[in-house]
Structure 1
Amino acid sequence: MRTLRESLRELDDRLLSPYTGWTRDHWAALADHLLLSARPYASDSHARISFPGAPGGYGSDVDGLEGFARTFLAAGFRVAGEGGRDPLGLMDWYAQGLAAGTDPRSPERWVRLDEHDQAKVEAASIALVLHLTRPWLWDRLTPLVQEQVVAYLTPAIGSGYPPINWIWFQIIVEQFLASVGGPCSAKDIDEGLALTDGFVRENGWYADGSERSYDHYVGWALHFYPLMWTEMAAGDPVADTRRAAYLERLGPFLHDAVHLVGADGSPLIQGRSLTYRFAAAAPFWMGARAGTPSPGPGLLRRAASGIARHFAEHGAPDEDGVLTLGWHHAWRPIAQSYSGPGSPYWAAKGLFGLSLPAGHPVWTAVEEPLPVESGDYQLAVRAPGWLVSGTRSDGVVRVVNHGTDHSHPGTNLTDSPLYARFGYSTATSPLLAGENSAEPFDQSVVILDEGGRPSHRTGFETTFTGRLPSGTLVGASRWQAHWVAPDAGQPDHGSGRSGTPRLGPWLEAISAVRGPWELRLVRVSAAAVPSSPLPIDAASVGVPGGPLPIGAEPAGVPGGPLSTGAAAVPGGPLRIGGWPLPADHDGPALDGPGREGREVAWNGALRSQLVPGPGLETSGVLQAPDSAPLAAWTLVPWCATTAPAQPGTWYDVAIYLGAQDPADPPALTWDGTETARVIWPDGTEDHLDTAEATALS
């Protein structure tokens, strides 16, 4: 029997799609395969689809609802794009599930919105599909089932939703209710829209709430739902006016987003809910549906098809046609505590392009190359504080992070490996399991305490993000090193954890990025740190280790309130971690070519290297088993001081990720005490004013 991968390859069209081979037929085949493979796991009435695997953190009742609602997305997109043509009988099949799931007397009834908050998420998917397929599903339901559906969705009205992307779930549900003559609160919608206006950041980006939370939700939720809502509310002057603003933001965001896809189609491996996989394609399809003038349809399809093809080629879905909790293959640690076996089917968001008919320009335009396939680039994305570097020779996209930590400036949380690392890429994953997931190692700058435990940086302050005249990118941040004893019983939602903090010295870091190299400068502040414990100023920091209250000003200057907020830890050795390289083996992968004075990890395709500068006397390569989803081992070069770091001294390390064996790293000299002179391997010369980069604006 042919595998899905083999079947899809037989459909390749290299004239229309010279980069991926994928056409609309591939996407339709993938959707049909997922939908038909899900049916054996459905209950008798089809109301619940319970995929194999241990229950998620919310229990099997929620898991079954997720399985229905998320595959329902795929069914709805499939039929909507075909104008109602439905050879698989998808609408009839899901209509049975709707009838039973919304029937309060049915043994297979769904968890209600007023029984579990997760039902609020799934209700939005159900409402969205009922809108998209109205002539072929809603209009054919019996009056009784229509009444049941309205009754099931009605608890959304006046209910509390977290002030993040979830607000859009309430808006979508209530807008659908209004469209079918059901109850609706204009107040809820108006207040929700006003709240989401507060998520807007520069150049088309949104934050997921008030925190510095930037991840794939920006595209698959915060750009997706506003434009879908304007379709649902078309003709309303408020919706029509807002649509223009939403479109104006989408174009610049998509410009940045296509720069974050690797040549192999991998999306950036950063942020929570990574197990949703090719849901990352959703914003590109939304750009096509909304008609953004740029990027063009050929590039949008190239990005979306590359992402889906990447996973199909690497075993997702699996041999049973199931999307497991994992990345390429099943790997449970990638999931958050809210994830169950039905959760990965949020990937159906990535099938949104199927809602567009075969004659749409996004399907008929010839594929255009991704930016990383066209040449090398350096892109500063100011909202998330990312320095983005793509290199054509290896197709890798790298992000150096000085602006994202899923928190506020001045907090004392543990670092989330998904948000607070210094670097993310399309070819590497942070360490997500094992001891080094909770204690930063890869892509980190830490002070080691008396017990050898690394400090955290969440709550840092961004001081600079930009580009030099040469095109070199520069970013900088500073933070107070802190160690946290996490409070027990906290769910894992992908962000850092609160607890009892101990505070150490302040650290400053500057990154200069060009091509596959980052030159990282690190300094321990000479500011004094109290030597005895002092009481925590709860008014300044909210709760110990917790986020600042919304609207509060951060207390985060060297020697300020946070410096006196907990027991002080004296400065210890400084350690810097490099790129976490996936490898099939531990020892043999270290046998790649290296040069004296460097730490090299090599997996046969890519190299992760460190070239430490003066004062970083010790170094090595961490070999971490089963700690990331890409391979059995992850190799992390590192370097450190052997004694406590000297305050006021700039330490430097050149950090590399790429396919080539680079002959020379960036060369650093100092013009005085605050200006660094850098000569890059391509001959470019830059001058970095460290005082300017580390000064708060």
Structure 2
Amino acid sequence: MKLPDPDHALSPRTGLTRAHWVATADGLLDAAWRHASPDHAFLDLPGRPSRSGVRSDGLEGYARTFLAAAFRTAHGDDPHNRLERYAAGLTAGTGGQWPAISDVGQPMVESASVALGLRLTKPWLWDELPEETQDRAEAWLRGSLRHVPAANNWYFFPYTVASFLENAGRGDDETRRAKQRAMELLQGWYVGDGWYSDGDGRAFDHYNGWALHLYPALDAHLDGRPVTTHLREHLKSFHLLFGADGAPLYFGRSLTYRFAAASAVALGAVTGETPLSPGHSRYLISNSLRYFLDRSSLTDGLLSLGWHGPHEASLQPYSGPASPYWASKAFVCLLAGPDHPLWTAVEEVQDEDRTLALPGPGLLVQRHGGVTRLHNHGSDHVRPFEGEYATDDDPLYSRFAYSTSTGPTSKHNVADNHLSLVVRGDRSVRRRIHPLGARDNWAASWHRPVFDANQVVVPGLKVESVTAVWGDQELRVHRIIGAPPGTTAELTGWATDLPSRLVGVRGWTGEKSQTAPQGTAFTTAAHVPTLTADVEGTVTLAAVAVLNGTVEEADWDARVDDLLERTLDAD
């Protein structure tokens, strides 16, 4: 990809300016359009097909690249005449080529990108279409309003379709109901600290920024209305979830969207709903973009299915060849014109160490030495209908900690940052997480260990856990209640290519290192430090974990007692 020379006067750290973002969008679009169908209705990118099938995947290629093109041309600048090609694709696609929108079907997802793209380019694309073509496009889009979304951020796909139809003078009771329904659900999903659960339950991840905030906040901004999501509050914590190298926190699903994680920061700058300075906002988004461009995320100019390069474990069953192009959402930054402070302010770097507790979602942010760690005592991705004892382990949500420099191990390998109990040969997983609070430098939770289908739960067995941090040190305390005779406890630390440290403080009697042959998104193979102990009844176990560095000499045993008194034993 050909980029302009870096500008280190305006952007001392990254060298990137608005011109680099424009050039990146152009490069991604040029590469993707080499795979367009003759009628331009599909962009059939190479790679493994998704479970939705190749026609849906081709629509995804059209829709997600259209979103990037729309942000790129939203000020009327279309030097490559891309909108003409997207108009032809829309005509053919809604004329019978695209798959129909159905209940919980992938075309519903893509309808939002099509609708938002049409809204952003309305004077140059939609308004130039024959009325007959507009009618057919409306009929296809309205399928999103008349079918059932998945019970999470998907409600903002019909919301976005409805917003475009209203903007195009085609609103009615159906569009108003779709928008009202989504906003009512969003209010119910709010837990505080600027964070929403992605649907009922406790699923906190990057969908907060690139969906739950982005769609309604951008709609309000384009309409000239006040932003009513808690975007400003969200960015107070979210901006910490990037490493000094630009890596977003590796946490939650759909991480192949890569620098889409920066879209919330860009959206805040564009709408003015941000606590961050323009220079700091640009540093965060450009540093994230540079992180991936410098780490083999492109194959033949295309975003690959993975993290750095291709990485199967980063994917979900719904991931298809064009899925990574939700990264297009980061180009929302281009809605800020060349004279906007986001682009004219000198880049401002803020990488200082910091700890922040988030009691709403039950998370603890630990930023030290350029790496951000997130200690998870509140996010589990368990849906209410799945019940207390769902047994499917989800590495992207169930681990006790995540970071910007390590990825969780595969569910087929030893679990990192995990406490498991082994009872009569069955190993437990952590699913439903019940937060107990987060304050200052600690966060706490409890869960009932869940075993496989032959032994779903041990009556009375419960684990209370608390994590406290000082600098780069992590004190992890687990109180096991009701362990039957013969139970073995196993605690693991960070999965890295170089050994991280996990040192027993109380109760642990064994120590070993395990390997994760499938590695993580950051390394092809990983070592996982492990502590073991035989437990029975009620037992308190404690250890100190360090990702990079050594364990400090301190009275850790006394810190355990103090921590328990302030958290699990507090009145």
TM-score by length of 1: 0.78
Q: 2:450 aligns with which of 466, 472, 482?
A: 482
Structure number with greater Rg is 1
Give yes or no for contact 1:408–1:459 (8 Å, CA) kept in 2.
Answer: no
Distance in 1 between the 2:506 and 2:99 partners?
61
* Aligned partner of 1:101 among 93, 105, 108: 93
Q: Is the 8 A contact 2:413 2:518 kept in 1?
A: no
Q: Is the 8 A contact 2:485 2:536 kept in 1?
A: no
2:377 aligned residue (394, 402, 407): 402
Cα deviations across residues 91-128 of structure 1 (Å, max 9, x unaligned)? 11111111110102xxxx11111376211110111110
- Offset, 1:255: 1.5
Determine the structure 1 residue equivalent to 2:466. Answer: 510
| Cα separation, 2, equivalents of 1:482 and 1:116 | 29
Q: CA deviation at 1:183?
A: 5.3
Query: Aligned with 1:501: secondary structure?
Result: coil
Unaligned stretches of 5+ residues in structure 1: 235-239, 468-472, 486-498, 530-568, 584-588, 590-600, 602-607, 678-686
Q: Deviations over 1:308-362 (max 9, x none)?
A: 11000001122x0111110000112211001111111111111211222111110
Within the alignment, does 1:455 sit opposite 2:445 as a pair? no
Cα 1:695–1:173 shift into 2, 3 Å: farther
Match of 2:420 in 1: 446
Decide whether the 8 Å contact of 2:545 with 2:551 is kept in 1: no
**Residue matched to 1:664:** 552
2:511 matched residue in structure 1: 619
- Provide the residue aligned with 1:34 in structure 2: 28
Cα distance in structure 1, aligned partners of 2:472 and 2:274: 31
Q: CA deviation at 1:233?
A: 4.5
Question: Are 2:284 and 1:294 equivalent residues in the alignment?
Answer: no
User: How do 1:366-445 and structure 2 match up within 5 A?
Assistant: 366-370=346-350, 373=351, 375-392=352-369, 395-407=370-382, 411-413=388-390, 414-432=392-410, 434-436=412-414, 441-445=415-419
Out of 284, 297, 301, the position equivalent to 1:303 is 284
The offset of 1:434, in angstroms, is 2.9
Equivalent-residue separation in structure 1 for 2:6 and 2:427 (angstroms): 49
Q: TM-score normalised to the size of structure 2?
A: 0.95
* Contact 2:112/2:161 (<8 A) preserved: yes
Name the CA distance, whole Å, in 1 between partners of 2:140 and 2:557: 67
Aligned with 2:61 (options 58, 67, 72): 67
Seen in structure 2, the aligned counterparts of structure 1 residues 692 and 408 have a Cα distance that, compared at 3 Å, is farther
- 1:474 offset after TM fit, Å? 1.3
Q: Distance in 2 between matches of 1:53 and 1:245?
A: 39
Q: Following superposition of structure 1 onto structure 2, how do residues 2-41 of structure 1 map, counting pairs within 5 Å?
A: 4=1, 7-8=2-3, 11-41=5-35
Deviation string, structure 1 residues 40-63 (Cα, Å, up to 9, x no partner): 211001110111112111111110
Query: Is the deviation greater in 183-192 or in 322-331?
Result: 183-192
Q: CA deviation at 1:621?
A: 1.4
CA distance in 2, matches of 1:45, 1:28: 26
Residue range with higher mean Cα deviation, 41-50 or 378-387: 378-387
What's the offset of the Cα at 1:364? 0.7
Q: Distance in 2 between the 1:363 and 1:217 partners?
A: 26
Q: Is the 8 A contact 1:405 1:415 kept in 2?
A: no
Query: Does the 8 Å contact 2:6/2:15 carry over to 1?
Result: yes
Partner-residue secondary structure (3-state), 2:289:
helix
Distance in 2 (CA, whole Å) between partners of 1:458 and 1:71 is: 36
Q: Judging changes above 3 Å, is the alpha-carbon distance between structure 1 residues 506 and 500 closer, same or farther for their aligned structure 2 residues?
A: closer
Q: 1:669-680 to 2 correspondence within 5 Å?
A: 669-670=557-558, 676=560
Q: Which amino acid aligns with 2:178?
A: D
Report how far residue 17 of structure 1 moved. 0.8
> Which consecutive residues of structure 2, in runs of 5 or more, have no partner in the other structure?
none
Instruction: State yes or no: 1:245 paired with 2:218.
Output: no
Contact 2:115/2:164 (<8 A) preserved? yes
Deviations along 1:606-636, one digit per CA (max 9) or x if unpaired, are: xx10111243121111111223221110111
For 1:446 and 1:455, the matched residues in 2 are separated by: 5
Contact 1:434–1:627 (8 Å) recurs in 2 = no
Q: In structure 2, what residue type is equivalent to 1:506? A: K
Of 179, 191, 194 in structure 1, the residue corresponding to residue 181 of structure 2 is 191
Q: Is the 8 A contact 2:57 2:321 kept in 1?
A: yes
The AA in structure 1 aligned to 2:457 is: R
Aligned to 2:210: 220
Q: 3-state SS of the aligned residue for 1:195?
A: helix
Alpha-carbon distance between aligned partners in 2 of 1:500 and 1:365, rounded to the nearest angstrom: 60
Alpha-carbon distance, 1:664 to partner: 2.6
Measured on the aligned residues, the alpha-carbon RMSD in Å equals 2.0
